[in-house]
Amino acid sequence: MEWAANTFALYGVGAAALATSMVTLGRRLELSQAKHRSLAGHTRMARRLAAALPHYEYDQDRFFSADGAPAEIVALRRAGFARLTDLYRTRFAETIRRSAEAAETISDLQFTGAYRVPFQFSRMVRANLPTGALLQASDGVTVTDLDGNRFYDLAGSYGVNVFGYDFYKGAIERGAARVHALGPVLGAYHPLIIENTKLLKEISGQDEVSFHMSGTEAVMQAVRLARYHTRRTHLVRFCGAYHGWWGDVQPGIGNPLPAHETYTLAEMSEETLHVLRTRRDIACVLVNPEQGLHPNAPAPTDSALVDSARWSRFDKDAYTRWLKRLREVCSERGIVLIFDEVFVGFRLAPGGAQEYFGVRADLVTYGKTLGGGLPIGVVCGRKGLMKRFRDDRPADICFARGTFNSHPYVMAAMNEFLRALRTPQMQALYQNLDDTWNARARRLNRRLADEGLPVEIANMSALWVVCYTRPSRYNWMLQYYLRAEGLALSWVGTARLIFSLNYTDADFEAVADRFVAAAKAMERDAWWWHDAKLTNKAIKRTIMKEVIARRLFARRQPRAH
């Protein structure tokens, strides 16, 4: 009898264990279904594959014929490349010389220099088309290199430059004068901070503010606060979204460690909403509204431009609907919704992405332009969420400090920015902003199409991505033709053009003329040669074969130490 009871009990325990593991399995399955199908959606696999990817590079011949182009096309490319090399060596001589000197000891320059184009082409490009990293001046919408060449600036200082460089120069200068008497005293604040917090509360619609030194730190603090208050572990970030370089928000390639408490889910996905509705471990959802321009795709860069598959289109209505649904689910489930506006804040609307999309977040991070030209990170949030200690548990705190937080000079430049934002002159910049930039993009696209050039612009207001409409292995060359035409790009090349809002129609037309001229020169030099066999799929297949061959070959080589 006792034996029967024990057996029965054991069966009971077994059944309960089975049920629990079925539920766990089911939850894991739901998580998998909410991942984006791409590699960027599978961060662990991406890291493993990245670690296994061998280096190899093209020799002189293959460099010009990686797409199987015939000899006469290769000859045109060689001639074009030589012309461009000559032009770079003469026109940018001093800038290149001094940049090379700097790069010997600045590791960041070595990194960005190596990742401007797909790695198979990189060494030859670096040797022949070195990109200067030094500038001596900015003025209006232009920057000037050490050789005195003026470029229209499409790099936008990583998004800091919203109002034009002259504005920030003035903000820093006037701000410095206003806090000069206190100087760089830290710990105590300059009273200007009070006005800044008032203005930030108004803009963000939130109750409290904390100041940090970079966007990355602001995001770290927002996530930490969300975890502290919800007592849950996981953050949800969306596939492809950049939130700075802190480990938990960069679980894939680039971070040597896995991020165990991060879920990377697909954006604009029912399965994601289901996961948010059903899991109990999610503290917060991080949204970078810039992703509206290319949901679920990583921040584009020309070093990944191996074919013409880069695609982008901003659908404001669809993205707004998605954010609203996300808002609803987060409210239902007590999940903290964080808008990371470090990049797009103040670029789309004076009230940032919250105003632009009509959705209120629980915490908002800002950075970049808000510092009036100086380094900054800010978190704004609801009172309860911003609190860093518990009245009933004195040792249960959410710690956050930073030596340079609330630096008087930064507060002063920020104050100049925030005050300027309210002036009719700056408000006027936002009038019909999207219409203006959409019309400019349309105009340029029409010109490119009329010329039969395989290039198309996608834009979210004044943020642009260059897309390519004909399969090609050489789209990354366009950045070098654009520089030759006097257009300054950041190290990600044509992946992101950032216009400041002070571009006039005349400035823009000058950029458009140069853009078309660059694309025509690239077409003339035959880089966009194409035949029916050259599809994006075929290009990827070729690269895959090269990688496999390289792996097999490399195994037989003795290991280098």
Ligand X SMILES: Cc1ncc(COP(=O)(O)O)c(C=O)c1O
Interacting residues with ligand X (CB under 6 A)? 158, 214-216, 219, 242-244, 288, 340, 342-343, 367, 377
Question: What is the smallest separation between the CB atom of 346 and ligand X, expressed in angstroms?
Answer: 13
Nearer to ligand X, 209 or 453 (CB): 209
Q: Are 132 and 95 in contact (CB under 8 A)?
A: yes
Q: Which residue has the tokens 């035949």?
A: 531
Structure tokens at 175: 């701000």
Question: What is the smallest separation between the CB atom of 374 and ligand X, expressed in angstroms?
Answer: 11
503 three-class SS: coil
Question: What is the smallest separation between the CB atom of 177 and ligand X, expressed in angstroms?
Answer: 26
Nearer to ligand X, 307 or 340 (CB): 340
Strand-pair partners of 384: none
Q: Which residue has the tokens 């590791």?
A: 107
Residues 6+ apart with CB under 8 A from 349: 355, 356, 430, 433
The C-alpha atoms of residue 437 and residue 476 are separated, in whole angstroms, by 24
Nearer to ligand X, 243 or 327 (CB): 243
- The Cβ-side half-sphere exposure at 241, using a 13 Å CA radius, reads 31
Question: What is the smallest separation between the CB atom of 357 and ligand X, expressed in angstroms?
Answer: 15
Question: What is the smallest separation between the CB atom of 519 and ligand X, expressed in angstroms?
Answer: 28
Nearer to ligand X, 65 or 250 (CB): 250
Coarse DSSP helix, strand, coil percentages of the chain, rounded to the nearest 5 percent: 50, 15, 35
Question: What is the smallest separation between the CB atom of 241 and ligand X, expressed in angstroms?
Answer: 7
Question: What is the smallest separation between the CB atom of 378 and ligand X, expressed in angstroms?
Answer: 11
Nearer to ligand X, 124 or 414 (CB): 414
Question: What is the smallest separation between the CB atom of 226 and ligand X, expressed in angstroms?
Answer: 15
Structure tokens at 120: 């198979």
Nearer to ligand X, 241 or 448 (CB): 241
Q: Are 490 and 496 in contact (CB under 8 A)?
A: yes
By Cβ distance, which residue is nearest to ligand X? 215
162-184 b/e (C-beta count within 10 Å ≥ 16 → b): bbbbebbebbbeebbebbeeeee
Nearer to ligand X, 241 or 306 (CB): 241
Nearer to ligand X, 88 or 343 (CB): 343
Q: Are 235 and 246 in contact (CB under 8 A)?
A: no
Q: Where do the DSSP E strands lie in 327-434?
A: 336-340, 363-367, 377-381, 389-390, 393-397
Among 332, 413, 330, 333, which residue's Cα sits nearest to residue 373? 413
